Amino acid sequence: MEAVDALIEKKRQEMIRIAGVWGFTSQETIKASQELDSLLNSVLLTDKYMKETVNV
């Protein structure tokens, strides 16, 4: 899980850097934000699946 956390943090930092250069509403920032959202959603779905599987 630490690798995933590191990947999420790297993407978050990248998004912040891009927003600082291009602005919060730029396509580049939006793309980075969507990529971060995708990573976070994957973690949440995996966590939910694991909890449901254990409780079966």
pLDDT of residue 26: 98
Please tell me the distance from the alpha carbon of residue 35 to that of residue 1, in angstroms, as a whole number. Answer: 18
Q: Structure tokens of 54?
A: 């254990």
CB 43 within 8 A of CB 35: no
Name which of 17, 2, 28 is nearest 43 in CA terms: 2
| Cβ-based neighbours of 18, under 8 Å, separated by 6 or more | 26, 28, 29, 32
Task: Tell me the average confidence (pLDDT) per consecutive run of 10 residues in the chain, 56 residues long.
Answer: 91 98 98 97 86 73
